Amino acid sequence: MSEAVRRLVLLGPGLGWLAIFLVLPCAIVFVYSFFERGTYGGIDYIFTLENYARAADPLYLSILLTSARVAVITTVAALVIGYPAAYLIATAPKPWQMPLLILVMLPFWSNYLIRTYAWIVLLNNQGLINYGLQELGVINEPLPMLYNEFAIVVGLLYGYLPFMVLALYSSISRLNREIFEASADLGASSLRTFVRVTVPLTIPGIAAGSVFVFVLSIGNFVTPNLLGGGRSLMVGNLIFDQFLSARDWPFGAALAFVLIGLMMLLLIAQAWAVNRSQRNDAHA
Amino acid sequence: MHAGFTRAAALAVVMCGLGAGSALAQEKIVISQWDAYWPADLLANFTKETGIQAEWAVQIDNEDMMGKVTASGGKGYDVVFASSPFVEALAHLGLIAELDHSKIPNLANLFKEAQELPYDPGNKHSVPYTWGTTGLCYRSDLMKAAPTSWNDLLKPADELKGKITMLSTDRWLMAAGLKDLGYSVNSTNADELAKTKDLLIAAKKNLLAYDDTTFYSKLVSGEATLVHAWDGWCNFGVAENAAIKFVIPKEGSDLFVDTMVVTAASEHKDAAHAFINYVLRPDVHASIMAFTLYKVPNQKAVDLVDKNLLTTYPTLAITSETLFQQELLRDLGDNQKDFTRVVTEILAAQ
């Protein structure tokens, strides 16, 4: 009994917070998605499924696909860049690990918007990179690096890489180093050890990091606006516009729920991957 | 309660403009207004002169304001700033109060056009605060010939390709194409919208970016040569580089009016009226014009403003006659949905 009370006291504030500030607003948005748009904003309480039917329109699916493409490219790039970094940190001498991790997290100390503007300074046609390259005579015309999908990926990658590195770090640092020795003793090359031993054992980290980066990227609307110059519309911008300029809360809500559904599927897949790898651990 | 006394006191405040110690002095009004859209000391001066406390609730944009006001039924706000199509929506929703003109004698200072605005003739429930138009803001030192037409923006000469930005806010993005094709800025005709969509998608290839907030700094840096801009915001560029100029395209443009309204739910309506009357005082409205660099619909204020300002920022010298040759943006009601879809198709086009 006292155990149950203790649990309730410890869990209560966290659960209460989530219920009031996450579950409840989401429930309201979910309910809105089944009503009609009021002519002058707000909601007309007439039940309809039209908002979900509209979400399946090729126009909106193509926007979802564009967003997914950008998010996948960002995630893969984050994995390729983040894995070696996380591996290095996790295998560095203990006293070095904390300072290195703090360096990874350092960008979070300043505002995301300001960091995004910094990229505009770097990438624009008169920016530091183009100016430098032109002064050095490497290029004659400025490279188009800003206001396109490349810039969006760069911005998202920069913003969310730390999540990938941290997730991978926690996974890699838990590996028992003796496994590598055993693999080497059994004649595996270091590449073979990496592919057959390290990667499979760090699947939970890879899955967690990838889901973080993908989910954060696909819903982002600030970066496509600022670095993409509004030329590619991502699903985050679409939802933003429905709520703000179109005064179409129900449709915006339906779109948001399609996105949430997609993210839920990914989180379930990630949980499944972690679960499976833990079960394998238990067998080993 | 003491309605009679309060009204008399309000009138006293309104008449002499300095009524510290009156019944209103105890009151506090909440005003929802955009950031940086009035001089920083305006509220403090208002309080000093009238004794009425005023709290500023910052609104990000019209949509943010609509969200706040519709969600609370207007409770908690006394004065709200809104662009004219939103005033129409607020009036339809019954959220704004009819104004008592006897408490706003400074209404007489307004241009006659500003007293007969088609969305609210006779200023029944809204008072214009600033007005303006959109057009072409450009670097005259970097262009061979000054732009004159929406075609200069939408079908640009080779040297301008990749050096152009457009507004992406739905009504203004569409207005550029609609006006170029000779249609109304309030068109909801499917065929006209389709033709406008094709034109704007074709124009997208030549854009550097869509930009609703920093277009003037792109002109200053030289990243862009020609941008689609609100006249007042073009002036932020002019302030940094006198070679930046503004023109209303010959096909015509839109007229937008930002206004002040009193919420129906306000419990301090007299104080709210006193605030609006204060803004309309010639010296106050002139200071707003000098600060925001937007034209104000106040004849007496414009007469009062420093003439150097009008030469430095020629958009401020655009006459109310010229402004009224442009087409007033109206609320689209149910047709907004189709309009938004077209805008989404344009913005999503690859």
What pLDDT digit, counting tens, does each position of A119-172 carry? 998 998 888 899 899 989 888 888 888 999 999 999 999 999 999 999 999 999
Q: Where are the beta strands (DSSP E) in chain B?
A: 28-34, 53-59, 79-83, 116-117, 120-121, 127-132, 134-139, 164-166, 207-210, 226-230, 244-247, 254-262, 327-328
Selected for mutation to probe chain A from B166, B223, B330 (highest A CB count within 10 Å) is: B223
User: Vertex B252, ends B33 and B178: CA angle to 5°?
Assistant: 85
Tokens 């002109």 found at = B219
pLDDT at A281: 64
Which of A63, A126, A229 lies nearest to residue B221, judging by beta carbons? A126
Q: Are A39 and B63 a contacting pair at CB < 8 A? A: no
Tokens of B34: 């955009």
Chain B residue nearest residue A117, CA to CA: B214
Q: Is the pTM of this model over 0.80?
A: yes
Task: Show the DSSP H helices in chain A as ranges.
Answer: 2-18, 24-32, 50-55, 58-91, 94-105, 112-123, 128-135, 149-172, 178-185, 190-193, 199-201, 203-219, 222-226, 235-244, 249-283
CA distance B111 to chain A (A): 29
Burial class for B190, CB neighbours closer than 10 Å (0-12, 13-18, 19+): exposed
Tokens 């109206």 found at = B330
Give the end-to-end CA distance of chain B in Å, rounded to a whole number. Answer: 64
Q: Is the pLDDT of residue B25 over 70?
A: no
- Considering only residues 135 to 174 of chain B, which have any Cβ-Cβ distance to chain A shorter than 8 Å? 162, 165, 168-170
Q: Is the pLDDT of residue B21 over 60?
A: no
Q: Is B347 on the interface with A (CB under 8 A)?
A: yes
Q: Are B340 and A245 a contacting pair at CB < 8 A? A: yes
Q: Are B345 and A59 a contacting pair at CB < 8 A? A: yes
Q: Is the pLDDT of residue B17 over 70?
A: no
Q: Are B66 and A66 a contacting pair at CB < 8 A? A: no
Band of pLDDT at residue B333, cut at 50, 70 and 90: confident
- Considering only residues 49 to 68 of chain B, which have any Cβ-Cβ distance to chain A shorter than 8 Å? 61, 63-64, 66-67
Chain B residue nearest residue A121, CA to CA: B221
User: Contacts of residue B204 in chain A, CB cutoff 8 Å?
Assistant: 231
In this structure, what DSSP letter does residue B73 have?
A: T
**In chain B, what percentage of residues exceed pLDDT 70?**
93
Sheet (strand B244-247) strand order: B207-210, B164-166, B226-230, B134-139, B244-247
Query: Of B173, B218, B209, B199, whose CA–CA distance to B344 is shortest?
Result: B173
Give the end-to-end CA distance of chain A in Å, rounded to a whole number. Answer: 37
Cα separation, A205 vs B57, in Å, equals 44
Cα separation, B230 vs B210, in Å, equals 14
**Beta carbons within 8 Å of B2's beta carbon, 6+ residues apart:** B23
Cα separation, B188 vs A97, in Å, equals 62
pLDDT at A1: 60
User: Contacts of residue B197 in chain A, CB cutoff 8 Å?
Assistant: none
Summarize pLDDT for B40-49 with one digit per residue, the tens: 999 999 999 9
Q: Kindly state the helix (H) or strand (E) to which residue A36 belongs, with its residue range.
A: strand A36-37
Which of A109-123, B20-34, B265-279 comes out lowest in average pLDDT?
B20-34
In this structure, what DSSP letter does residue A38 have?
A: P
Which of A233, A245, A247 lies nearest to residue B348, judging by beta carbons? A233
Q: Are B211 and A237 a contacting pair at CB < 8 A? A: no
Other Cβ atoms less than 10 A from the Cβ of B240: the count is: 12
CA distance B78 to chain A (A): 20
Q: Are A230 and B221 a contacting pair at CB < 8 A? A: no
Cα separation, B120 vs A93, in Å, equals 73
User: Contacts of residue A25 in chain B, CB cutoff 8 Å?
Assistant: none
Indicate the domain borders of chain A. 54-283
**In chain A, what percentage of residues exceed pLDDT 70?**
98
Q: What average pLDDT score do residues B108-118 get? A: 94
Q: Which residues of A touch chain B, with CB atoms under 8 Å apart?
A: 37, 39-42, 59-60, 62-63, 66, 124-126, 144, 146-147, 229-233, 237-238, 241-248
Q: What average pLDDT score do residues B272-281 get? A: 97
Summarize pLDDT for B185-238 with one digit per residue, the tens: 999 999 999 999 999 999 999 999 999 888 999 999 999 999 999 999 999 999
Angle between the A58-91 and A249-283 helix axes, to the nearest 10 degrees? Answer: 40
Task: Show the DSSP H helices in B182-319 as ranges.
Answer: 190-204, 215-221, 231-238, 269-279, 282-292, 299-304, 307-312
Q: Are B348 and A126 a contacting pair at CB < 8 A? A: no
User: Vertex A263, ends A260 and A267: CA angle to 5°?
Assistant: 135
Other Cβ atoms less than 10 A from the Cβ of A1: the count is: 5
pLDDT at B8: 42
Query: Going from the N-terminus, what domains does chain B have, and what CATH number goes with each?
Result: 3-131+256-316 (3.40.190.10), 134-252+326-348 (3.40.190.10)
In this structure, what DSSP letter does residue A148 have?
A: S
Which of A62, A231, A248 lies nearest to residue B340, judging by beta carbons? A248
Band of pLDDT at residue B14, cut at 50, 70 and 90: very low
Query: Of B231, B213, B238, B215, whose CA–CA distance to B164 is shortest?
Result: B215
Which amino acid is it at B279? V
Q: Consecutive 10-residue runs of chain A (284 residues): their mean pLDDT?
A: 84 91 92 88 85 91 93 97 95 92 91 90 88 89 89 95 96 88 87 88 92 93 90 90 83 92 89 80 58
Q: Is B201 on the interface with A (CB under 8 A)?
A: no
For B109, list phi and psi in degrees, rounded to 5: -75, -15
Q: Are strands B226-230 and B134-139 parallel, antiparallel or unpaired?
A: antiparallel
Q: Are B348 and A59 a contacting pair at CB < 8 A? A: yes
Cα separation, A152 vs A260, in Å, equals 22
Do B90 and B265 contact (CB within 8 A), yes or no?
no
CB contacts < 8 Å between A and B, how many? 86
User: Contacts of residue B344 in chain A, CB cutoff 8 Å?
Assistant: 59-60, 63, 233, 238, 241
Cα separation, B270 vs B78, in Å, equals 10
Q: Are B211 and A230 a contacting pair at CB < 8 A? A: yes
CA distance A83 to chain B (A): 33
Tokens of B45: 């001066």
Which of A126, A232, A238 lies nearest to residue B222, judging by beta carbons? A126
Chain B residue nearest residue A123, CA to CA: B223
Summarize pLDDT for A14-40 with one digit per residue, the tens: 999 999 999 999 999 999 999 998 877
Chain B residue nearest residue A229, CA to CA: B209
Q: Are A39 and B334 a contacting pair at CB < 8 A? A: yes
Query: In CATH, what is the architecture of A54-283?
Result: Orthogonal Bundle (1.10)
SS3 B82: strand
Q: Is the pLDDT of residue B300 over 90?
A: yes
